[in-house]
């Protein structure tokens, strides 16, 4: 896989990430989950930076890589919260909204649970959202690492050749003037 193929694949993953994060942002906003809204909004910013970084600078891809690792940790926390792993229970959901509300999905699936029309539990929907983000983040991290490596491999020979050219021209100027 060449650098262009990896770059295109990374761009596709970033686009999928952007679509899914914006969708999750909307439902976090509808459910007044402000603490969950903040990392998602920051993720949107870093995805856009990564898309521009793919075209311009590899340093922004490194920033994207670091933030995506942190965002993966956040999503693992959300998965543990909704699966009630460890000390988390049903009352722990209020952490994400500063105690004011619960997830839009959890709220609306409780309402349809009385009529047995729910296909999925609200907690399961949130876990699926977070798991999809973890999957896209891991793929994005691997691809960004590969693209950074490929860009570094492409740039270094050019920089080395330029340094050698400058060195040779400097030495020839010194030889001519001496």
φ, ψ at 42 (rounded to 5°): -65, -35
Task: Identify the domain containing residue 134 by its residue range.
Answer: 3-177
Q: What stretches of 86-121 show up as alpha helix (H) in DSSP?
A: 104-113
- Alpha-carbon distance values, 81 to 19, 139, 142, 152 (Å): 23, 23, 26, 39
Phi and psi at residue 23, to the nearest 5°:
-60, -45
Q: 132-158 burial, b for 16+ CB within 10 Å, e for fewer?
A: bbbbbbebbbebbebbbebbeeeeeee
The tokens describing 125, both together, are: 């929907």
Q: What is the DSSP letter of 167?
A: H
pTM over 0.85: no
Q: Which of 66, 70, 73, 72 is nearest to 50 (CA)?
A: 66
> What would the two tokens of residue 52 be?
């521009």
DSSP class of residue 115 equals T
Per-residue pLDDT of the chain (178 residues; tens, 9 = 90+): 444 577 888 889 999 999 999 988 887 777 667 677 788 889 999 998 888 877 776 678 888 999 999 999 989 988 888 888 877 766 665 666 555 556 655 665 655 655 566 666 767 878 888 999 999 999 999 998 888 888 776 654 544 555 565 666 666 656 666 5
Number of domains in the chain: 1
């Amino acid at each position: 896989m060449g650098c262009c193929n990896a770059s295109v694949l990374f761009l596709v993953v970033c686009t999928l990430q952007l679509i899914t994060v914006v969708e999750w942002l909307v439902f976090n906003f509808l459910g007044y989950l402000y603490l969950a809204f903040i990392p998602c909004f920051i993720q949107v910013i870093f995805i856009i930076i990564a898309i521009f970084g793919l075209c311009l600078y590899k340093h922004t891809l490194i920033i994207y890589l670091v933030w995506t690792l942190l965002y993966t940790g956040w999503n693992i926390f959300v998965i543990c919260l909704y699966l009630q792993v460890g000390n988390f229970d049903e009352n722990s959901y209020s952490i994400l909204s500063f105690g004011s509300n619960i997830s839009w999905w959890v709220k609306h699936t409780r309402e349809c649970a009385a009529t047995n029309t729910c296909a999925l539990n609200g907690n399961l929907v949130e876990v699926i959202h977070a798991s999809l983000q973890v999957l896209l983040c891991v793929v994005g991290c691997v691809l960004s690492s590969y693209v950074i490596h490929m860009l570094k491999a492409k740039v270094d020979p050019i920089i080395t050749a330029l340094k050698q050219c400058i060195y040779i021209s400097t030495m020839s100027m010194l030889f001519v003037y001496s």
